[in-house]
Structures are given as structure tokens and as C-alpha cells.
Amino acid sequence: MIKTAVVILNWNGVKLLEQFLPSVIQYTLSDDVEIIVADNCSTDNSIGFLKETYPQIRRIVLPENYGYADGYNQSLKQIEAKYFVLLNSDVEVGEGWLQPIVDFLDVNEDVVAAQPKLLAQRNKSYFEYAGAAGGFLDKYGYPFCRGRIFGEIEQDKGQYDTITDVLWATGACMVIRARDFFDAGGFDATFFAHMEEIDLCWRLNSRGKRIVCIPSSVVYHVGGATLSEESPRKTFLNFRNNLLMLYKNLPEDSIDRVLNKRILLDYIAALKYALTGKMPNAKAVHAAHKEFRQIKQSYTLARRENLEKATQSNLKTIYPKSILADFYFRGNKFFSRLQKFC
């Protein structure tokens, strides 16, 4: 069994593989690390490119496009390793990027997952939206990061260079113990893409497991390479998956209050989309809520299992206030200004 498997999930990303796979190979290969490309039934020349250019790289070819969530579930079942590194195909890495995280996990058995510091590949002095220096949620389920709150992205000046416990590690580059990935049930396949890593990490946090950011490890992420920020499909997945995540993981004493508030806030967001000429996105929010109502009952057992396996409910990695109120009304646009986490 290999110690560390770096698994790149690909879907029609031959251009990204051409651009970023060389850095992964150059700065990652060693006797105890294997690089694997798992292909989500691409229709471009991804497989042909890999066979011709990198025949030494192991390939897992899936029979259909399972999305990010189940694409990784299906692929990781075929890999034996102590640590899985889930790496997006649009990530550039540099010398020594992986070792600090593996070294930390080796000596901290209570830590089950970690992420590096995520910077923007197109402007490397700034954090990148998808994970920055580690992720959190507020009390209403809105995700934010050290270095990024909503669309406000900070310049990296070393202000978040401490190793810190977080609620979630970015799916753009997550290192996770294989046994804990499977013990927690892996990613929720229904999510398809977006927020599945937050859902998984919330489950792990609730079961007393630690997740950290190791800023001495740095990678550079393009972001939005599969679905653009304006995509109605992305809007649908984000809103629907956030509701599913809340339903699955919220403690009994807060679920009704939080979900009712989120319904109101989501429809305010839909109204904003409509008033700014983004009607397809507004319709996507409504479609997300409609589907959530339709499939909510099928999640009763998953919710019960999560609550039964939880060893703690008041997580220190969940912000006890509204990040919306902090950002828009109190002017706290930087993580360092949030009193609980500074």
C-alpha cells in the first residue's frame, strides 16, 4: 500500500492537465507518493493525452460523469493508501508543497484532514476564493474563509500563517486519512458538486475529529474552471446542497430556526438576482428549494445517523453570529475583524 495517493479528478480538462499536471509531477513524485488521474468519462482527449504524454501516471476511467462528489467516491474505492490528496486539475503546486501536511498528519493522529494555503494562480499575492487559509461556517450555514468573506478576497501578507483548526478543508486541495474518509461515509453523491467537502468535514468535526490548515504548504488555484460564478447550474447546486447540508448536520435544538431563516435569506438572494437581470439564477434558487423539499424526507436516516454519531454539537469552528450581518452592516469584511476567530 502506498502512503500517499494524489488523486486528480478530471472531466474534459485536457487543457488543464496540459498546464498543471507537469508541476504536480515535478514537485510530488517520490517513492511513497503516487499520482493518479481519475477521469469522469471525459469526451475530450484527456485519456489520449495521458496515455501519450504521461504513460507512467495511473489512470482510473469511470463509466460515466459522477460529478465531483461521487466521482471521488468511486475512484478512491479503487486506491489503497494511508492518505488521499484530493487535488483539482486547475491547481499549480511548487517545491515542497505536500510534505508539511503529511509530516503534520504523521504526528497528530487526532487530525484527520488538512489543507494548504490556497492562493490565486492568476494573482499569487492574493488568497483564492475556494479555500484561502481554511474554511468556516456561520450560524446560518454561510461558508467563509481566513482570507475570504463572500467576494472580499484579502492579499496574503502572512496574516494567516499559523496552523489553525478549521471546520472545512477545501476540496480544491484536501489531504485526508483514507480510513476516516470511508468511516464517515465519503462524499454525499447527491451533491454532485459544490459543498460536499463542507458536509463531510462537518460530519468529521461533529465526531470529535480535527481539521486544520497548514499554511507552510502553498498551492495556487485557478478556480471556476468547470462552472463559472454566474452559472445558474452552480447557483442551483450551491443553494440546494447548502440546505441538504444544514438538514443533515444541524442539532435538533436549532434546525427549525436556522432553516426558516435560510429560506427567507435565500429568497432575498433570489430577488436580488431578479432585480439585477439574472433571472436564470433567481429561478435556480427557487428550483433548489423545490428539490430540497422533494428529497428532504429521504435524508431522515442520514440525519439520524449524523446526530447519533456526533460527540459534540457546539463546534468552536462554527461562527456563532451572522456573517451576513458582520459583512454588510458592521463592515467586518476581513476575517481578522471577526472577534471569535481573531
136 and 13, same structural domain?
yes
Could you read off the pLDDT of 182-195 as tens digits, one per residue?
999 999 999 999 99
Q: Is 86 a member of any domain?
A: yes
pLDDT at residue 225 in the model: 47
Task: Tell me, yes or no, whether 197 and 237 share the same domain.
Answer: no
pLDDT(18) > 60? yes
Percentage of the chain surpassing pLDDT 70? 98
- Over pLDDT 90: what percentage of the chain? 94
State the average pLDDT over residues 107-126: 97
**21 and 101 belong to one structural domain:** yes
CATH code, 79: 3.90.550.10
Q: Please report whether residue 43 resides in a domain.
A: yes
pLDDT in tens, 198-235: 999 999 999 999 999 999 999 999 986 455 567 999 99
User: pLDDT of 141-177, one tens digit each?
Assistant: 999 999 999 999 999 999 999 999 999 999 999 999 9
Per-residue pLDDT tens over the stretch 64-95? 999 999 999 999 999 999 999 999 999 999 99
What is the helix, strand, coil percentage profile of the chain, to 5? 40, 25, 35
36 & 127 share domain: yes
The range of the structural domain enclosing residue 264 comes to: 232-311
Confidence bin at 340 (pLDDT 50/70/90): confident
0.85 exceeded by the pTM? yes
165 and 281 inside one domain: no
pLDDT at 245: 98
**291-330: b (≥16 Cβ within 10 Å) or e:** bbeeeeeebeebbeebbeebeeeebebbbeebbeebbeee
Tell whether 169 and 304 lie within a shared domain.
no
Question: Could you tell me if 34 and 90 lie in one domain?
Answer: yes
